[in-house]
């Protein structure tokens, strides 16, 4: 994975690497120590195959999302800071629309 | 109040690993005593770890079934406590740290409240990538953005003569803030809402920016009516082109034409 990481880090910031013809890019990949299977997947551009190959034990499963109204009967924000009045009103309104 | 020792900078690493990090953000990251990271992919997280010897992942605070507000609180506390300890803290977030990101905004606000220096450095957001990949200029017809669930649970007015971009369709209709997926029933309700302003056969683009530089963005075109059966992921954004032409405001045009200066 470290060789792969080095290659894609370089590829991510290099206009030169991105503009290479396939044969030259393949040769460069080999200098990073990538094997034939890895090179084939990367060159395919197949999102799913690449995602599958790049899976790590710490894969990210979520994105940062903004606040949403709480479910009815639950506190609006059990862990968060105190909300100002407008925010509370907004939440109440959102629940009225939601239920 | 004089600024205390200890500082916080929330930076954006951009959407695509190693491609979008600005020189200034990289410099802050390298100068930090400790870096907290929230990345879009395990490999991207490893890349950030390669840039600094002490990187702490904030992903550990996310858990399916745990209210995200609790996770956020823990993330903020983790960062601010290091600031209080007098350290130069960097919070590195994928994309733009101020876009669809509660934690960086709140952490900066709380650090400032405590008298510490804190600010945010912008990064390349998913929106920026979307405009480039889809060839959309938001200035052409106008562009409206909504968080998908907000659109569903509030009475918002849509303008079908402008672009419509719906973020976080992957958690559409989730009121629990503890799920990491939507489902067919919720997506049907989303279609029901959009149907008020768009025909059912209106095209919808399912967009996902590149997180790894070796991949390609997802740009899949479906019909609005097919949305409940589509593969909608957490990172999927919905893009609807205008369904109606711009309607001239003749009264305003006349008034403008009559101006002498």
Extract the tokens encoding B30. Answer: 């390298």
Residue B259 in any domain: the answer is no
Residues B133 and B69 both lie in one domain: no
Residue stretches of chain B with pLDDT short of 50: none
Q: Does A59 touch chain B (CB under 8 A)?
A: yes
E strand spans, B73-230: 88-93, 116-121, 143-147, 163-167, 203-208, 218-223
Contact A64 B59 (CB under 8 A): no
Q: How far apart are CA B175 and CA A95, in angstroms?
A: 9
Interface size, chain A vs chain B, as Cβ–Cβ contacts under 8 Å: 133
Contact B215 A79 (CB under 8 A): no
What CATH number did the domain enclosing B58 receive?
3.40.1010.10
C-beta separation of B120 from B13 below 8 A: no
HSE, CB side, 13 Å, CA atoms: give it for residue B94: 31
Name the strand (E) or helix (H) holding B4. Answer: strand B4-12
- What ipTM did this prediction achieve? 0.74
pLDDT at residue number B64: 67
Residue B221 in any domain: the answer is yes
Interface mutation vs chain A, best among B42, B60, B66, most A CBs within 10 Å: B42
pLDDT at residue number A79: 38
Contact B213 A56 (CB under 8 A): no
Interface mutation vs chain B, best among A60, A73, A95, most B CBs within 10 Å: A60
Contact B180 A93 (CB under 8 A): no
Interface mutation vs chain A, best among B45, B57, B67, most A CBs within 10 Å: B67
Question: Of B70, B104, B124, which residue sits at a domain end?
Answer: B124
How far apart are the CA of A11 and the nearest CA of chain B, in angstroms?
7
Residue A87 in any domain: the answer is yes
Residue A62 in any domain: the answer is no
Residue B224 in any domain: the answer is yes
Query: What interhelical angle do B68-84 and B102-113 show, nearest 10?
Result: 40
| Confidence label for A99 from pLDDT (cuts 50, 70 and 90) | very low
Active-site residue, B193 included: no
How far apart are the CA of B63 and the nearest CA of chain A, in angstroms?
9
How far apart are the CA of B245 and the nearest CA of chain A, in angstroms?
31
Q: Does A96 touch chain B (CB under 8 A)?
A: no
Q: Does A93 touch chain B (CB under 8 A)?
A: yes
Q: Does A9 touch chain B (CB under 8 A)?
A: yes
pLDDT at residue number B2: 59
pLDDT at residue number B215: 80
Residues A49 and A73 both lie in one domain: no
Residues A73 and A44 both lie in one domain: no
Residue B254 in any domain: the answer is no
Determine the structural domain holding residue B150 and report its residue range: 127-240
Residues A34 and A10 both lie in one domain: yes
Residues A47 and A22 both lie in one domain: yes
B44-84: per-residue pLDDT in tens?
Answer: 999 999 999 999 999 888 776 777 788 899 999 999 999 99
**CA distance to A45, B29, B121, B122, B226, per residue, from B12 (Å):** 26, 10, 6, 6, 34
A34-68: per-residue pLDDT in tens?
Answer: 999 999 988 888 878 887 887 754 444 444 454 55
pLDDT at residue number B219: 96
Residue A78 in any domain: the answer is yes
Residues A45 and A73 both lie in one domain: no
What CATH number did the domain enclosing B139 receive?
3.30.950.10
Overall domain count for chain B: 2
Q: How far apart are CA A9 and CA B18, in angstroms?
A: 5
Residues B12 and B44 both lie in one domain: yes
Determine the structural domain holding residue A72 and report its residue range: 68-99
Residue A85 in any domain: the answer is yes
For residue B229, the Cα-to-chain-centroid distance in whole angstroms is 24
A59-97: per-residue pLDDT in tens?
Answer: 444 444 545 555 445 444 433 433 444 444 443 333 333
Nearest residue on chain B to A48, alpha-carbon basis? B215
Residues 11-40 of A with CB under 8 A from B: 11-13, 18
Q: Does A55 touch chain B (CB under 8 A)?
A: yes
Residues B96 and B116 both lie in one domain: yes
| Confidence label for A98 from pLDDT (cuts 50, 70 and 90) | very low
pLDDT at residue number A3: 86
Residue A23 in any domain: the answer is yes
């Amino acid at each position: 994975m470290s060789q792969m990481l080095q290659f894609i880090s370089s590829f991510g910031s290099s206009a030169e690497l991105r503009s290479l013809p396939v044969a030259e890019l393949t040769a460069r990949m080999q200098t990073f120590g990538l094997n034939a299977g890895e090179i084939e997947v990367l060159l395919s551009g197949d999102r799913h195959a690449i995602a599958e190959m790049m899976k790590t034990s710490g894969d990210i499963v979520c994105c940062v999302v903004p606040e949403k109204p709480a479910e009815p009967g639950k506190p609006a924000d059990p862990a968060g800071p105190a909300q100002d009045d407008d925010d509370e009103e907004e939440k109440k309104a959102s629940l009225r629309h939601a239920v | 109040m004089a600024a205390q020792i200890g500082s916080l900078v929330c930076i954006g690493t951009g959407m695509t690993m190693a491609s979008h990090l600005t020189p200034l953000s990289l410099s802050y990251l390298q100068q930090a005593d400790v870096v907290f990271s929230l990345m879009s992919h395990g490999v991207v997280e490893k890349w950030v770890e390669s840039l600094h010897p002490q990187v702490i992942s904030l992903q550990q605070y996310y858990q399916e079934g745990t209210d995200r507000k609790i996770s956020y609180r823990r993330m903020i506390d983790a960062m601010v406590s290091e600031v209080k300890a007098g350290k130069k803290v960097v919070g590195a977030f994928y994309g733009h740290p101020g876009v669809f990101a509660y934690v960086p905004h709140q952490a900066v606000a709380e650090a400032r409240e405590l008298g510490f220096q804190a600010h945010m450095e912008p990064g390349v957001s998913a929106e920026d990538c979307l405009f480039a990949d889809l060839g959309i200029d938001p200035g052409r017809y106008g562009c409206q953005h909504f968080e998908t669930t907000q659109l569903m649970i509030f009475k918002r007015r849509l303008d079908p003569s402008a672009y419509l971009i719906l973020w976080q369709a992957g958690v559409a209709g989730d009121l629990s803030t503890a799920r990491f997926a939507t489902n067919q029933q919720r997506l049907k309700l989303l279609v029901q809402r959009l149907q008020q302003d768009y025909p059912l056969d209106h095209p919808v683009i399912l967009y996902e920016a590149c997180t790894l530089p070796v991949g390609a963005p997802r740009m899949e075109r479906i019909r609005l009516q097919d949305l409940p059966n589509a593969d909608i992921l957490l990172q999927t954004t919905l893009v609807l082109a205008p369904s109606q032409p711009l309607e001239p405001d003749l009264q305003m045009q006349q008034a403008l034409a009559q101006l002498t200066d």
